[in-house]
Amino acid sequence: MHGIFSILLIWLLSATTPAGAAQWRFVTEDFPPFTYPADTPVSETAGVAAAGPFVEVVHAICARLQHQCTITLYPWRRAFRLAEQGQVDGIFTLTRSPQREQVFHISRMLVTSRYSVFAQTDSSFVFNHPNDMTGRRVGVYGPSGTSYVLSERLKSVPDVRFHLTADNRRLLRMLQSGRFGVEGVAVLNQDVAWHLIEDERLKGIREAGELGPISYGIGLSRKTVSAAQFEAFEQALDAAIGDGTVPAILRRHKLEAAY
């Protein structure tokens, strides 16, 4: 009898637990203007609280699902590793690739931007076609979606030398100082580059041409989030787009919607 009473008590407690008790952990990176550190103290062990339009969108979706969601900012390699291993439930900003589709449920794309080629102001280089990169040293943020897309688009171009750098700010400073040589260039997200050029007051850098469009979405770990949970997430996202919540966030941050 005592055993039956214990089972009933556990069932009653679980039945009275609100649906919103689910807790999801998201990670992101310092990728302004999409995501950036919140105005909180930095902690090397606990990470940094995140802010930005993607953070606002995720919080809006979590509120609709009545989930308690935390969003922490880490260097991209660490953030991606945590999400890939299922130690957290979600990650953004995420581009699509066949490899990532195997690891993550990926939401509809939310924001469209562009990859651009940047050169030193003194250089006469103008980018019009992938073959224009022949024989050049190309700096790029990576390993990342940017470096993946770049390597795919330039895989048939001869004698391209890639230099991967794990920080966009450092990448632009390296270009500015001539670390990639006289003919060297850097490929970055256009919105990120111009934000950082203004924020860091970088001189001697110009845009030499557009490489192509890119869109970003939100990834949920297949290890911790079921297909049904992802479907609910997508429905909440669609509702937030439909009632104007997401469009208002993107307009306020002057970003172009991908949908």
Model pLDDT for residues 125-160, shown as the tens digit of each residue: 999 999 999 999 999 998 888 898 899 999 999 999
Residues 6+ apart with CB under 8 A from 8: none
Residue 46: pLDDT band by 50, 70, 90 thresholds?
A: low
Q: What is the pLDDT of residues 196-220, one digit of tens each?
A: 999 999 999 999 999 999 999 999 9
- Rounded to the nearest integer, the mean pLDDT of the chain is 89
Residue range of the domain that includes 171: 113-214
Confidence (pLDDT) at 1 = 46
pLDDT at 14 over 60: no
Query: Same domain for 185 and 136?
Result: yes
In a domain, 3, yes or no: no
pTM: 0.82
Exposure of 174 in the CB half-sphere (CA atoms within 13 A): 22
Q: For the chain, how many structural domains are there in total?
A: 2
Residues 98 and 170 in one domain: no
| CATH number, domain with residue 205 | 3.40.190.10
pLDDT at 4: 44
Same domain, 177 and 199: yes
CA–centroid distance for 200 within its chain: 21
Predicted confidence (pLDDT) per residue in 80-104, tens digit: 999 999 999 999 999 988 999 999 9
C-alpha 110/C-alpha 259 separation (Å) is: 6
Res. 177 pLDDT band, cuts 50 70 90: very high
Measured N-to-C along each axis, helices 190-199 and 168-177 cross at an angle, to the nearest 10 degrees, of 70
Query: Same domain, yes or no, for 199 and 242?
Result: no
- 11 in a structural domain: no
The per-residue pLDDT for 6 is 38
The reply to whether 136 and 91 lie within a common domain is: no
**What pLDDT, on the 0 to 100 scale, is given for residue 3?**
45
- 9 within a domain of the structure (yes/no): no
Give the pLDDT score at 162: 95
Q: Are residues 230 and 163 in the same domain?
A: no
Is position 12 within any domain? Answer: no
Domain co-membership, 47 together with 170: no
* Residue 5 reports pLDDT greater than 50: no
Do 84 and 164 reside in the same domain of the chain?
no
* Distances from the Cα of 77 to the Cα of 8, 18, 46, 121, 165, angstroms: 46, 35, 16, 31, 11
40 pLDDT tier (thresholds 50, 70, 90): low
